[in-house]
Amino acid sequence: MPMKIGIVSNSKSCLALLFQLNNFNRGGVSLYLGSTADPGVNKAEVMSFCYSNHIAIHVEEQKEELYQWQQLFEPDIIFITGYGNKIDTSNLKGVPRGVYNIHFGKLPEFRGPSPVFWQLKKGMPDLVLTIHELSDKFDGGPIVWEQKIKNEDYHSYNYVNQLFSELQVKAVVELLQQIGDRKTLNKIVQDEGKAAYYKRPELANVMINWELMDANEIINLVKACNSWNNGAITLLNGFELKIMDANIVAGKKAGQSGGTITLSVNGFFVDCIKGAVISVNFFDFNQNFAPGRYAGFYGIKTGQKFTNNLDSIFK
């Protein structure tokens, strides 16, 4: 049975989902495009995509317009993906097949607006995409679909978001098939005892603390900061340097305290706590992107030490 499907988003992650649903759903698809301050979201690009694919679209000016859009379009089901505003579920009770939120993280352990960042930063062995019923509790409704992928060494923030943008298509299609076949969805109530909320990353969350973070934690942070932040931040002589790519050097032992730099013909190395050494393969210094082997040309020297003094950034 064809269904009218509503998609609510302010992220480009919705495009693959829109394309799939528009091609294979006979009931019609409509996008409610939320407002956002994210410079990476090109509103004109999303609108052009919808117009060229004959997808109905409403562009938000005020967040209250969401409820008017729902009343006018009258979707049978709504999926929310990457929408930042708090939704009053009492105003969306007239959606016959329900309202579901697509969350790029494991629930209830990674509630909040940036779950991919926190899963990568914490070095979780698996990364999880979850779909749950929308509820008054933020990211708190019963789970109806979940799938995990292995956290690979080559994964970065942007890459994982792209993977999940594609994986959500599979998830929504499977749920629509179950609903269309009138099958009862398996709903799992979230365990509030495991619940944790993480806010959007701030400056302190993307900075390397050489005194407390070991090599694995530093590598995880680099992955979590690429490429939206151009890497994990550290300070050298009061200037910001971003490590964009790094790896732990097997068999090499640190000879000095965490954050101490060594340059050689083989590259750009930094000692870490617990005796490990990382190789900085690519970095951003004063908005210059450079391979680690060229660090010496940017005034970086053996024996210098990275610091964690946030105050120096604002002097």
Domains in the chain and their CATH numbers? 5-194 (3.40.50.170), 204-314 (3.40.50.12230)
Residue written as tokens 């994964």? Answer: 155
| Spatial CA neighbour of 274 closest among 212, 220, 221, 219 | 212
What pLDDT, on a 0 to 100 scale, did the predictor assign at position 24? 81
CA angle 42–44–48, rounded 5-degree value: 120
Judge contact between 72 and 106, C-beta under 8 A: no
What pLDDT, on a 0 to 100 scale, did the predictor assign at position 84? 84
Predicted TM-score (pTM) of the model is: 0.94
Say which residues have a Cβ less than 8 Å from residue 81's Cβ, sequence separation at least 6.
7, 8, 9, 11, 13, 14, 17, 101, 102, 168
Residue-wise pLDDT for 188-243, tens only, equals: 999 999 999 999 999 999 999 999 999 999 999 999 999 999 999 999 998 999 99
What pLDDT, on a 0 to 100 scale, did the predictor assign at position 314? 47
Residue 74 has which token pair?
Answer: 């009258």
Angstrom distance (rounded) from CA 134 to CA 82: 13
Helical axes 157-180 vs 15-24, angle rounded to 10°: 30
What pLDDT, on a 0 to 100 scale, did the predictor assign at position 38? 66
What pLDDT, on a 0 to 100 scale, did the predictor assign at position 236? 95
Handedness of CA 106, 110, 113, 116 (dihedral sign): negative
What pLDDT, on a 0 to 100 scale, did the predictor assign at position 271? 98
What pLDDT, on a 0 to 100 scale, did the predictor assign at position 311? 57
What pLDDT, on a 0 to 100 scale, did the predictor assign at position 39? 61
Judge contact between 208 and 234, C-beta under 8 A: yes
Angstrom distance (rounded) from CA 176 to CA 241: 47
Residues of the chain with pLDDT under 50: 314-315
